[in-house]
Amino acid sequence: MTAVDPRVSVQTPPTGPATLRDVVAAYVGLTKPRIIELLLLTTVPVMFLAERGVPALGLVVATVVGGTLSAGSANALNCFYDRDIDERMRRTRRRALPRHIVSPRSALVFGLILGVLSTLMLYLLVNPLSAALALAANVFYVVGYTMILKRRTTQNIVWGGAAGCFPALIGWTAVTGELAWAPVVLFLVVFFWTPPHFWALAIRYREDYAAAEVPMLPVVAGAKTVARQIVAYSYVMVATSLLLWPIAQTGWLYPTAAVVLGGAFLVESHLLLGRSAHTDDVSALKPMRLFHWSNMYLSLLFVAVALDPLLTR
């Protein structure tokens, strides 16, 4: 990977008049659809668990659409605030704001409108508690993570990542109208999953974050420190995932999946730790296998959450 000199401007100039298709794609891109997919994956399965079966289709649709709008709002506002960083990072410089397809003011208005629509939709079609939780997640991500933590501390993604844990609570409250320990456990699973997942990606794009002066842990710490913290969070994540078995009184499918998937995650994290024993160069850790597996782990674990009440009733 070629290093990026932070003193050199990498602003991408406009490449010509934007077509309507470009503009629509740019606004969709502001919502970061791939992140939304992952958030919804931790919402719908929890609805199955809360229902102990198949929840009402209309409720699922309202929760999914409302959650999509809420997450899209948070991501668009993140793009608005972080537009200076995005211009300096190769991974993000092709986004709408660095390319000047969407103006900062338009992105801000777009994000705020999505936030209002999501809150109203969840309030009217789901319930006030789910709407309040979605709004709290939005505010925490934009203000807590983007505006306060991201540029100031190496623990930015640890605490800021809590915003991405709220879908588990929202899915549960959409069905039951109240909180319980089961969704709190799943909230914590995602909370402890986030640092290994995101630090693996941050290792890959370490030069980008360094150029943008964002103090992600892999930017300021050596390979051994990063790998040890990834392993530590991985163990806590797996242990937390097993708590759902007694707390939610699941059948055999969920704990089996949690053990198998968790074991594979721990193997991958230890392989990363093993590579750190031979070098303190973070960029030599080859983290993308762990990153891709972390996506697979969370996806399959929450699929097991959804299937368990259907197959083991």
Q: Are 47 and 172 in contact (CB under 8 A)?
A: yes
pLDDT band at 14 (very low <50, low <70, confident <90, very high): very low
Domains in the chain: ranges and CATH: 23-178 (1.10.357.140), 180-313 (1.20.120)
What's the pLDDT score for residue 275? Answer: 86
Would you tell me how many other CB atoms lie within 10 Å of the CB of residue 128? 13
Both structure tokens of 171 = 């899915």
pTM of the model: 0.91
Q: What is the mean pLDDT of the chain?
A: 91
Highest mean pLDDT out of 84-88, 225-229, 260-264, 272-276: 260-264
Angle (CA) 41-204-185 rounded to 5° is 30
What's the pLDDT score for residue 2? Answer: 34
Nearest to 276 by CA among 224, 231, 233, 204: 224
- In this model, does residue 220 exceed pLDDT 80? yes
- In this model, does residue 7 exceed pLDDT 90? no
CB < 8 Å & 24+ apart, contacts of 253-262 = 253/304, 253/307, 253/308, 253/311, 253/312, 254/304, 254/305, 254/308, 256/304, 257/300, 257/301, 257/303, 257/304, 258/301, 258/304, 261/297, 261/300, 261/301, 261/304, 262/237, 262/238, 262/297
What's the pLDDT score for residue 17? Answer: 63
Q: Is the dihedral of CA 107, 109, 110, 115 positive or negative?
A: positive
- In this model, does residue 230 exceed pLDDT 80? yes
Of 59-68, 91-100, 143-152, minimum mean pLDDT range: 91-100
Q: What percent of the chain shows pLDDT beyond 90?
A: 76
Q: How far is it, in rounded angstroms, from Cα 307 to Cα 301?
A: 10
- In this model, does residue 102 exceed pLDDT 80? yes
DSSP string covering 172-211? HHHHHSS--HHHHHHHHHHHHHHHHHHHHHHHHTHHHHHH
Mean local confidence (pLDDT), 204-225:
90
- In this model, does residue 11 exceed pLDDT 70? no
What's the pLDDT score for residue 16? Answer: 54
Of 14-28, 35-49, 72-86, 146-160, minimum mean pLDDT range: 14-28
* Number of residues in the chain: 313
What's the pLDDT score for residue 222? Answer: 87
What's the pLDDT score for residue 1? Answer: 37
- In this model, does residue 8 exceed pLDDT 70? no
The residue among 285 and 158 whose pLDDT is bigger is 158
- In this model, does residue 255 exceed pLDDT 90? yes
Of 83-97, 182-196, 290-304, minimum mean pLDDT range: 83-97
- In this model, does residue 12 exceed pLDDT 70? no
pLDDT band at 78 (very low <50, low <70, confident <90, very high): very high
Of 118-122, 134-138, 200-204, 294-298, minimum mean pLDDT range: 200-204
Mean local confidence (pLDDT), 189-211:
93
Q: Is the dihedral of CA 249, 253, 254, 256 positive or negative?
A: positive
